[in-house]
Structure 1
Amino acid sequence: MDRLSAMDAGFYFVEDENVPMHVGSVLIFDGPAPSYGDVIRLFVSKLPEVPRYRQRVRTLPLHLGRPVWVDDEHFQILYHVRHTAVPAPGGADQVRNLAGRLFAQRLDLTKPLWEVWLVEGLADDRWAIISKVHHCLIDGIAGTDLLQILLDWRKDPEPPEADESTDPWLPEPAPSTVDLIADGLRDAVAAPIKHLAAVPALAREMRSGSELTDIVRALARSLPGTANRLLETSAGSLNGSIGPHRRWVWADAEIAEIKRIRKEFGGTVNDVILTAITRGFRDLLAGRGELTSDQVVRSLVPVSVRAPRERRTLNNRLSAILVNLPVGEDDPAARLRSIREQMDDLKRSRQAAGADVLTNLGNFAAPTLLALGSRAALRFPQRLLQTLTTNVPGPRVPLYMLGRPLRELYPYVPIAATMRIGVGVFSYLDHVTFGITADFDAVPDAQTLADGIRAGIDELLEAATASA
C-alpha cells in the first residue's frame, strides 16, 4: 500500500478547524479568460500525470498504521475545479480579499486534497487561478514541479482532449478495513526495523569519517549558537492563539534589484530577501509600539533536502534552520550583515542536514504516537518562534495556460501553532513575490508588513547606491 511518510502524515494530522494545512497560490494571467469548460478539459488532460489528484487519504482505526493513499471511487473533476469572479474591474485588493477567504476554508479531507478556482473580472484584461493543495501532498519544491506539470512551456500547446470520457482511468478497488489494519500493523513493525537495520552501516560510516560523522559533529558545534539565538529578546504580540480566518497580502520586487544589492554588500539572494522581510517586521512592531533596539523576530526557515532523483515526486522532503531577524537594528546594511553572518554560520554547521537526520527519527515513532504528537506539538503554547519564512525558486522561463501567459504568481503558506504570521517567497522569470499569511483577528495590520518589505528593498537599494 502507498503510505504517507512520517512528515507527510504529520502535516495531515495537525489540521483542525483553525489550522487548514494547505499551501496555495494566486496565478495571474494575461489575455481574455478561458471558458470554464476549457479549464475543466485542461485539468482532465493533466490528471494522468498527477495520480495524487484522484486519490484521497484514508486513516486506520486507532491510527494503527500510517495513513494510505487510495483511489477516490467517486472522483468528480467538477468538484475540484471551480468558477467565480470579482466585480469588474477587479483590482489587487479584490483579488487578495477573495483569496484570503478561499485560503481560510479547509479542504474536504474525505476527497482528493486539492482545488482550483478560475477567477474572472480582473482589470487590464487579466484573469486568475487560485490553487490549494494540502501540505501532506507537497512542499515548496514539489509544488513548483506540480506547477510545471499543470502549465505549459509553449504558448501554443496541443489542445486538451474535448471529452472527459476519453480518460481511461478506473479507480483501484478500495482496501478493506481488515486489510488496512493488517498491513498497517505490519508496517508499524517493519518500518522501524528497516530503519534500524541501517544503523550498523551508519555506524561504520561514522568510524570511517563519513559525511554523516561530519554532519553530526557540525550539528553539535552549532548548538551553542542556536541556544544564543533562542535567548535574544523576541516580540510578544507575534505569538498567540489563532482563529479560522485569514488575511493575505502581497509585496513585489525584481530580481535585478536584489542582485544589485547583493553585488554591493555581498551575501546571497536569500540573505537580501530575509533582510527585506526584517524591515517589514520592524515596521509592524514599530506601528504597534513594541519595537526595541535589542529585539529579534525568530523565523523558522524550511530548507529542501530533496535529491535530484526525487524531483516530480509529490511529498515533503524538508528540513529547517532557525534565523533571527534583527528588527531592532536601525541600519539596513547592518541588518543584512547580521543575516549574512547567521546564514554563513548555519551553512558551516550544516544545521539543516543535521535537522534532517533528527526529523527522520519520526520514522521510528508508532503511528498512534505520531498522530497524537503532531497535534500536541502545534497546540503547545510556545514563544520561541515568531514566524515562518519559506523561499521557493520558480522557473525562469515563461509558462502558459491555454495559450495565455502567466505573469505573476503569489504564494500562500499556512500558519499554525502560536505563529500568527507566515511569509512565502516565490521567484518567476525576473520577478520575486512575497505572500504574507496572517490571522485575521490578531493581525489587522498585515499590510504594514507587506509595505515594509517593499520599503526594505528600497532602502537597501538606496544604501547600495550611496556606497557605490
Structure 2
Amino acid sequence: METMSALDAAFLQIEDRNAALHIGSVGIFEGPVPAFDAVRAEIARKLDRVPRYRQRMLRVPGNLGRPVWREDPAFDIELHLRRSALPRPGGDRELAEHVGWIMSEPLDHDHPLWEDWVVEGLEHGRWALVSKVHHSVVDGIAGTDLLTRLFGADPAPGTDTPATVAPGRLPSARALVARAVREDAAALTGAVLGAVRHPRKLAGQARTSTGVLRYLAALRPVGRSSILGPIGASRGYRWAEVPLADALAIRAAYGCTVNDVVVAAETRALRELLVVRGEEPTAHLVRTLVPVSVRRPDQHGAMDNRVSAILLDLPVDEPDPVRCLEAVAERMRRLKHTHEAEAGELMTALGDGLPPPALMAGLRLVFRVPQQFLTTVTTNVPGPREQLHLAGRPMVATYPYVPIADRLRTGFAVTSYGESLYFGITADEGSTPDIDVLRDGLLNAFAELVIAARVAGGVR
C-alpha cells in the first residue's frame, strides 16, 4: 500500500457532484479506426508501465489517515475502456460536445481512477481517444509522462507481455486505521526530531514564509463578473491549435516567454467574453491560478502531484494586445521574484504534516465557503515533440482538458506537440453557453500578436 500525499488527497476531498476532478486529453489519430480489440490489447500490454492504473483508492475510516493506493483484486480493463461514435458529420463541434459530455461524468471511486474512450465517426476517416484520469493520480507533467508510456514513437504495435498480478484481498477497515495511526505517530516524531537536528532548514522555511505572506495577501477578492459564480455538473469544451512558430516569433519580438504569450492570449479571450456580455473589463476583475511544477528531474515518471501555484491578476482592462502582453510578462517576472511558488510548495508540505482528520476537516470547511479570489485556471505543460502512435495509428493532434471547480466557470490548458500548441478550454455549460467566444478570442489574440511581432521586425 502507498499513502497519498496531502495534495493528492485534497483533489479527492474537494470533488463533489458539480466538480469532477479528473484531467484528460483528446488524441486525434489518422484512420482507419483500428479494431476495438486491438486498442484494448495495446493498452493492456502497457499497463505494467503505469502501476497506478491497476490500483484503487481506499479511504481510511473516520479520515484518520489519508487515502491509500492498493492493487485492485477485481481489476478488469473492460470497466475502463469505452467505445462511442459521433453523429454525422463528425466534425469539430460534434466531437467537442461529445468530449464535454464524457468529461461531465465523474470517475467511479470503487475502481482504478481512469477511463479511455475510443470515439469513431470523425471526418476524414479519423478517430479519437478521449482519456480521463483523476487529478489525485497525476499532475500535468505526470500526465504527459503517462501519455508517452501508453503511446509510443514506434508505429509498430508493442510486444510487452502483461505481468500476472496477484494482489490478494483488500485490507480491512481495522487494518487501514491501524496503519494510519502508526504512520501519523512516525510523521510527528520525524517532524519534531527534524526541527531539533536541522534548525537551519527550519530557518530557511521561515524565510520562505515571507513568500507565504505575499501569497496570502494575493487572496483578496476580485471584482464581480459573470465569469465567477456557482457551477453545475455539465461541461462545455472547445479547442484551438496555433503554430508553435508563431508563439516563438512573438517571444523573440518582445523578449518574453512562451508562457507569457499563452497567458496574454487567454487574457484577450476573457476580455472579449466580458465585452460581448456587456461587462466592463476593469482591473482586478480576473485572477488566474497558474500551476508551477516543483518536480525534480529524478521525480519524472512518478504518478502523483508535485505542483505549487502562483496567482496572477490578468490585465483584461488593457485594450492594446502588445501592452497586454508586456503587462503579463512584467507581472510574471515580479511573481517569480516574490517566491510565491516556493511558498505554495511550503504550504503543501505543511499539509503533509497535519493530522489527517484536521486536514480533511479543514478542506471541507474551506470549500464550503464560496471563494471570491480566483476566476479561472491556466495550465501549460510541454508535450512530446516526436509523433506518438497507438495501435499502429499516428496521433496527429492532442488537446488537453483541465477540470474546473469551486465557482471557476472557465479553465484553460495548453500543451505542445510536434510543431503546434494545442489549447483546451473547459467551461461550465450552464453559465457559459458562449464558450466559442473564448476559442475565437484566443485565435484572434495570436493573430494580433503575430502581426505586431512582424511590424516590430522580430527585435525588441
TM superposition score category, shorter chain reference: over 0.9
1:181 aligned partner? 177
1:416 aligned partner? 405
Matches of 1:233 and 1:242, distance apart in 2: 18
Cα RMSD (Å) of the superposition?
Answer: 1.9
Matches of 2:222 and 2:15, distance apart in 1: 30
Q: Deviations over 1:379-435 (max 9, x none)?
A: 321211101111111111111112211111111111111111111111111111111
Q: Deviations over 1:275-297 (max 9, x none)?
A: 00000000000011112353541
User: How far 1:206 sits from its partner (Å)?
Assistant: 6.2
The 5 A counterparts of 1:241-390 are 241-294=230-283, 296-390=285-379
User: How far 1:373 sits from its partner (Å)?
Assistant: 2.3
- 8 Å Cα contact 1:242-1:420 kept in structure 2: yes
Q: Deviations over 1:340-374 (max 9, x none)?
A: 11111112222201220122110122212222322
Secondary structure of 2:453's match?
helix
User: How far 1:231 sits from its partner (Å)?
Assistant: 5.8
User: How far 1:159 sits from its partner (Å)?
Assistant: 4.6
User: How far 1:198 sits from its partner (Å)?
Assistant: 2.5
Q: Deviations over 1:150-171 (max 9, x none)?
A: 001212244566xxxx641222
- 8 Å Cα contact 1:300-1:385 kept in structure 2: yes
Indicate how the Cα distance of structure 1 residues 444 and 174 shifts in structure 2: closer, same or farther if over 3 A, else same. Answer: same
Indicate how the Cα distance of structure 1 residues 345 and 200 shifts in structure 2: closer, same or farther if over 3 A, else same. Answer: farther
Which one is further off, 342-351 or 367-376? Answer: 367-376
User: How far 1:72 sits from its partner (Å)?
Assistant: 1.3
Q: Deviations over 1:225-283 (max 9, x none)?
A: 974x6669634212111111111111221110001111111110000110000000000
Matches of 1:461 and 1:185, distance apart in 2: 58
Indicate how the Cα distance of structure 1 residues 262 and 362 shifts in structure 2: closer, same or farther if over 3 A, else same. Answer: same
- 8 Å Cα contact 2:234-2:429 kept in structure 1: yes
Matches of 2:172 and 2:89, distance apart in 1: 52
Task: Answer yes or no: is 1:169 the counterpart of 2:158.
Answer: no
- 8 Å Cα contact 1:235-1:297 kept in structure 2: no
Matches of 1:313 and 1:381, distance apart in 2: 33
Identity %: 42
Matches of 1:449 and 1:196, distance apart in 2: 50
- 8 Å Cα contact 1:378-1:416 kept in structure 2: no
Which one is further off, 22-31 or 286-295? Answer: 286-295
Matches of 2:413 and 2:367, distance apart in 1: 20
Task: Tell me the amino acid that sits aligned with residue 301 of structure 1.
Answer: V
2:28 aligned partner? 28
Q: Deviations over 1:300-347 (max 9, x none)?
A: 101010111111100000100011110110111111111111111112
User: How far 1:31 sits from its partner (Å)?
Assistant: 2.3
Indicate how the Cα distance of structure 1 residues 235 and 448 shifts in structure 2: closer, same or farther if over 3 A, else same. Answer: farther
1:455 aligned partner? 444
Matches of 2:66 and 2:138, distance apart in 1: 17
State the number of aligned residues: 457
Task: Tell me the amino acid that sits aligned with residue 8 of structure 1.
Answer: D
Secondary structure of 1:37's match?
helix
The 5 A counterparts of 1:384-403 are 384-403=373-392
Task: Tell me the amino acid that sits aligned with residue 399 of structure 2.
Answer: Y
Matches of 1:340 and 1:191, distance apart in 2: 41
- 8 Å Cα contact 1:44-1:167 kept in structure 2: no
Q: Deviations over 1:70-106 (max 9, x none)?
A: 1211111111011111124410011101100000001
Matches of 1:142 and 1:360, distance apart in 2: 19
User: How far 1:39 sits from its partner (Å)?
Assistant: 0.9
The 5 A counterparts of 1:116-127 are 116-127=116-127
Matches of 1:316 and 1:230, distance apart in 2: 23
- 8 Å Cα contact 1:247-1:438 kept in structure 2: yes
Task: Tell me the amino acid that sits aligned with residue 98 of structure 1.
Answer: H
2:6 aligned partner? 6
- 8 Å Cα contact 2:222-2:373 kept in structure 1: no
Matches of 1:48 and 1:231, distance apart in 2: 46
Secondary structure of 2:341's match?
helix
- 8 Å Cα contact 1:300-1:323 kept in structure 2: yes
1:17 aligned partner? 17
TM-score, structure 1 as length reference: 0.93
4+ long deviations beyond 6 Å: none
Matches of 1:168 and 1:238, distance apart in 2: 49
1:130 aligned partner? 130
1:192 aligned partner? 188
Matches of 1:159 and 1:311, distance apart in 2: 24
- 8 Å Cα contact 2:140-2:381 kept in structure 1: yes
Structure 2 unmatched runs, 5+: none
- 8 Å Cα contact 2:308-2:344 kept in structure 1: yes
Q: Deviations over 1:16-50 (max 9, x none)?
A: 11111111111001121111101111111011111
2:92 aligned partner? 92
Task: Answer yes or no: is 1:47 the counterpart of 2:47.
Answer: yes
Matches of 1:129 and 1:27, distance apart in 2: 5
- 8 Å Cα contact 1:236-1:383 kept in structure 2: no
Matches of 1:441 and 1:88, distance apart in 2: 25
Structure 1 unmatched runs, 5+: none
TM-score, structure 2 as length reference: 0.95
1:60 aligned partner? 60
1:153 aligned partner? 153
Matches of 2:111 and 2:395, distance apart in 1: 28
